[in-house]
Amino acid sequence: MSDLRFELPLPDLAPWRAGNTGVEGVWRFDSGRPGRRVMISALVHGNEICGAWAVAGLLEALTQGRLAPHSGSLCLVLANLEAFDRFDARDHDASRFVDEDLNRQWQDVRMDEGGTRERRRAAALRPFVREADWLLDLHSMHEPSAPLLLTGLQPRNRELARRMGAPAHIVVDAGHKDGTRLRDYGRFSLPDAQAGDSRSLLVECGFHGDPASRDVARDQCLRFLEAAAIFGAAELATALPGWKQADAAEQWALEVTEPVVAKSSGFRFAAPYTGLECFAKAGSVIGDNDGQPVTTPYDDCVLVMPSVRQARAGVTVVRFAKRHALRP
């Protein structure tokens, strides 16, 4: 159960459920002309509804003819509808997934194997993901926190984050050892020299139940689509009024160096951290991992997304990062 209030209302996804591709929840809008194939995905985690709001808003604009790509295509994905269907604001973590985390199944061997609803769903989405050049994957967080844009290790994604101009904090990370994320699948994780035009970003828009997370999701979609340039900039601004928020005053790259992995559900932090706390001195104690103190490994160490809500043996509860200014 959550002690945080869930104030963001549920979007009505009934009109958007069927999709127009033959795969539930998957929509594709094709200009009929060559160009960038862009994908925006939401609900990879069933309780992260800010992205579903943004995707529903885009679907409205596209199906009402207020917006149409002038080159390439846009694919919109409502990823884990089965988990979303179980959503209950009083116990929202329970609808994160049905059988297992959909954002750890993006390896062909797991998708081919099937065995869980999430692996079968990943396999159904795979052809669309494979053809995408650019991906923006919309998420939200267990705890109240400033938004974070996760770029992976590839400099091309960091450059795109800088061009987008928000949010303020960019996380440079290698993903998780318990499985591959959507944003790291296939071509997305190749080094820049081999990856052609591919880009992939995952945005964490703030606490799941915070109405502001919806504003962040909309703002990020708009910035991403501006950069992708498959719509006219003026057309985007007119079709999506109020979606653009202020640019970040300054952007920071947080280079993740290592995760802290819980040894059991007994993991505890030393204080109620919410993320982006910076510890000046190496060796500062930040938690207790089954009786063993957890200390910061270097000076000016930043905590990225601390949370014990999903804590059990093998689950990452926080990541350590070094901070650099992100400049042109």
Q: Which residue minimizes CB distance to Zn ion?
A: 139
CB 221 within 8 A of CB 60: no
The answer to whether 154 touches 186, Cβ cutoff 8 Å, is no
Of residues 279 through 298, those in contact with Zn ion by CB under 5 A are none
**Closest separation in Å from C-beta 139 to Zn ion:** 3
Choice between 170 and 236, CB closer to Zn ion: 170
The nearest distance, CB 97 to Zn ion, in angstroms, is 10
Q: Which helix (H) or strand (E) holds 285?
A: strand 285-289
Compute the distance between CA of residue 215 and CA of residue 232 in angstroms, rounded to an integer.
22
Nearest approach, Cβ of residue 79 and Zn ion (Å): 10
Residue 25 structure tokens: 């929840």
Determine contact, residues 146/104, Cβ cutoff 8 Å: no
**In whole angstroms, how large is the CA radius of gyration of the chain?**
19
CB of 321 to Zn ion, least distance (A): 18
Nearest residue to 204 via CA among 150, 134, 273: 150
Cβ proximity to Zn ion, 99 vs 159, nearer residue: 99
Do residues 8 and 49 lie in contact, with contact meaning Cβ atoms separated by under 8 Å?
A: yes
Residue of 37, 45, 218, 223 interacting with Zn ion (CB under 5 A): 45
Nearer residue to Zn ion within complex by CB, 46 or 72: 46
User: Considering the complex, what minimum distance in angstroms separates the CB of residue 150 from Zn ion?
Assistant: 10
Question: What is the closest distance, in whole angstroms, from the C-beta atom of residue 84 to Zn ion in the complex?
Answer: 12
CB closer to Zn ion out of 140 and 189: 140
* Residue ranges in 120-139 that form contacts with Zn ion under rule CB under 5 A: 139
**Cα separation, 96 vs 47, whole angstroms:** 5
Cβ distance to Zn ion smaller for residue 37 or 45: 45
Which residue's CB is nearer to Zn ion, number 48 or number 173?
48
Kindly tell me which of 150 and 195 has the beta carbon lying closer to Zn ion.
150
Query: In the numeric block, which tokens belong to residue 72?
Result: 């390439």
Long-range contacts of 57-63, Cβ-Cβ distance < 8 Å, separation of 24 or more = 57/218, 57/240, 57/243, 58/221, 58/240, 59/15, 59/16, 59/27, 61/239, 61/240, 62/27, 62/29
Q: How far is the CB of 29 from Zn ion (least distance, A)?
A: 25
User: For residues 212-271, which are near Zn ion according to CB under 5 A?
Assistant: none
Contact range with Zn ion by CB under 5 A, out of 15-23, 37-45, 183-191, 257-265: 37-45
Task: Enumerate binding residues for Zn ion (CB under 5 A).
Answer: 45, 48, 139
